[in-house]
Amino acid sequence: MKATLQIQRGGPDETPRVEAFELSFEPGQSVLDGLRALRLDADPTLAFRYSCINANACKECMMLIDGDVDYACTVRLKEGVTSLAPLPKKALVRDLVTEIAPPDERLYRS
């Protein structure tokens, strides 16, 4: 099976661009599985956040998936095109990574 991930790329001071990556997958694999495979095989600079302990427990891999806020670890890859973008209304760090901790809880000051 083949999936195409259209991923919004760039940093906070850049014009966002969309890059498309095609990948093979097995039924049941998650979007997070696909992102990890892409970073390993296609583009090691791809930035996304995850910290898997248990599905839907850490909330690190939240992003816009086909326009809906969801967890990359729970949404399954599908044949065809899936669009990925960073969370809206959050400060962009790079690619799919946004600031998730409130400013007073960060280890550094922006």
* Strand, coil or helix: 40: helix
pLDDT of residue 53: 65
pLDDT of residue 59: 76
Residues of the chain falling short of pLDDT 70: 53-57, 101-110
pLDDT in tens, 82-97: 999 999 989 999 999 9
Domains of the chain: 2-105 (3.10.20.30)
pLDDT in tens, 99-110: 876 655 555 555
User: Strand order in 2-9's β-sheet?
Assistant: 17-24, 2-9, 80-85, 62-65, 68-71
